[in-house]
Structure 1
Amino acid sequence: MARSREEPASIGARDRAMIDRYLAMLAAERGAARNTMLAYRNDLEDAAGVLGNLADADSDALAKLGRGWSELAPSSLARKSSALRGFFAFLEAEAIRADNPSDALPRPSTRRPLPKVLSHQDVDAIFAVIAARLDTAHPSPLDLRLAALIELLYGSGLRASELVSLPLHALATDRPYLILRGKGGRERLVPISDRARAAVAAWRPHVPEESAWLFPSGKSYLSRVRLFQLVRTLAAAAGIDPARVSPHVLRHAFATHLLEGGADLRALQAMLGHADIATTQIYTHVDAARLVTLVNERHPLVDLKRSGA
């Protein structure tokens, strides 16, 4: 029978104190998201409940624990291993114990595939369809809404859930950015392009004044499923395989194309709302040829070579 989360006696006072200290460090020094903290606490408390004394566990105990994870999905296995590796690294760094037995834990292969990529030509084709629909004396309100949605997706890198739930007055006409509360309750500043602000301004008169949302639908806001359908239908109209396009792919295109244009990775991390720079590095795929060119042209040693040093 699985151990209940209502059995605190199964976790020793020392383990509980060490887990609390480790999570406090993650929150203070690394700004870990609330959901990450909760997942790590669950993983550590589960391990403590199984082992009886997590903080003093040796390699044999951790190896046995790891073998018990054999039926887990790779993502769950990776998270559990990460939680415990970080915990023992913390104990070693704080001189709470002299060794780190976490090498005994499994190291699952969790290499994330590169996201689907849209070329600049693909994006141009999508916006050409929108431009053609708006090239009339009285564009359809639904086309104006679509233009605002796509401009914000590609022009600001918003998540689909963030986009559809934007409050009616989220975008001020005199302010080229908005303050957004994203994953984990973290706030970030999101730049809004002039094109996106113009598209929203054109759509705004068609939103009922009593609406709480910029993109209302019934008594709530546009669903993510409907946004997904709109994006795929637009891709098909642009001659692009709909299976290649989604709101998330447009967010990725925003990051990829900015990075290709010379944007700083840390700036992208802030704009995308990633807690960990590693997520941004995976998310923002750049072709290897461009990176080689960048090193050959921009590395400080290039200047030394030119000067004959």
Structure 2
Amino acid sequence: MPRVQLPAVTPKHKAWNKGRIIGQKRPLLPKQVWAIRARLELSGYLRDLALFNVAIDSKLRGCDLVKLAVADLVKDDRVRERVSIVQSKTKKPVQFEITENTRDTVIAWVRSPEMIGCRFMFPSRFHDRPHISTRQYGRLVRDWVTAIGLEPSGYGTHSMRRTKAAEIYRKTGNLRAVQLLLGHTKVDSTVRYLGVELEDALSIAERIDI
């Protein structure tokens, strides 16, 4: 009896993105920022509150945020109003402002007993690491958004970076300003990052002289 060769069967693997929200992470709305801030204040988590506030103000990538040194933000026992750092990704400097509320939380954290002898703003609780890792930062962001009832898969560390940038763009429509604040070398990158439609971008650009 001749053999019948059956077609090869390729095992089906579960799609890596099944059930996940993919794409850009959403920025937080102002009311959500204040909700997280209030929870952290009530909990007395000085480090997390300082980290959250600096993340919103600085608009830094996670890799640059976790490496901030105390000397980057504090001089002569006072928190700087403006800070400049060199970005890890682009090797170019970017400046950011530190608002009064953030300055208050930063100085309170720096003066706390936990920060005695610490070089980095956000030291790790693991002795073999000088500062928290981007993975630790990501876990904290997930905890923050979950605590106020948001779906954590829709948010991430880039949500922190995008939050103030998105609000500045919403209120001013000034792409050039947002480009400078995010440290993007091309305005095209800013357009994609904010999810701006081309027609919207062009209409805004027509109203702005640089």
Q: 1:280 to 1:114 in 2, by over 3 A?
A: farther
Give the secondary-structure state (helix, strand or coil) at the position aligned to 2:72.
coil
1:128 aligns with: 35
Answer yes or no: is 1:233 the counterpart of 2:140.
Answer: no
Answer yes or no: is 1:208 the counterpart of 2:115.
Answer: yes
1:227: how far off? 0.6
Structure 1 runs of 4+ with >3 Å offset: 286-289
User: Which one has a larger percent helix, Structure 1 or Structure 2?
Assistant: 1
1:286: how far off? 4.4
* Contact kept in structure 2, 1:151 and 1:196, CA below 8 Å: yes
1:252: how far off? 1.6
Structure 2 unaligned segments of length 5 or more: list them. Answer: 1-21
Q: Deviations over 1:239-297 (max 9, x none)?
A: 000111111122122211110010522222121111222111111234799x49x959x
Greater relative contact order (Cα < 8 A, sep 6+): 2
Count of residue pairs brought into register by the alignment:
178
1:284 aligns with: 194
Instruction: Give TM-score scaled by structure 1 length.
Output: 0.51
Higher Cα radius of gyration: 1
- Could you tell me how far apart the structure 1 residues matched to 2:26 and 2:54 are? 18
* Contact kept in structure 2, 1:260 and 1:286, CA below 8 Å: no
Q: 1:263 to 1:202 in 2, by over 3 A?
A: farther
Alignment RMSD: 2.8
- Could you tell me how far apart the structure 1 residues matched to 2:67 and 2:49 are? 16
Match of 1:181 among 86, 101, 104: 86
Q: Partner letter of residue 189 of structure 1?
A: Q
- Could you tell me how far apart the structure 2 residues matched to 1:288 and 1:195 are? 36
- Could you tell me how far apart the structure 2 residues matched to 1:245 and 1:272 are? 18
- Could you tell me how far apart the structure 2 residues matched to 1:132 and 1:241 are? 17
Instruction: Give TM-score scaled by structure 2 length.
Output: 0.73
1:126: how far off? 4.4
Percent of matched pairs sharing the same residue: 25
2:46 aligns with: 144
* Contact kept in structure 2, 1:153 and 1:250, CA below 8 Å: yes
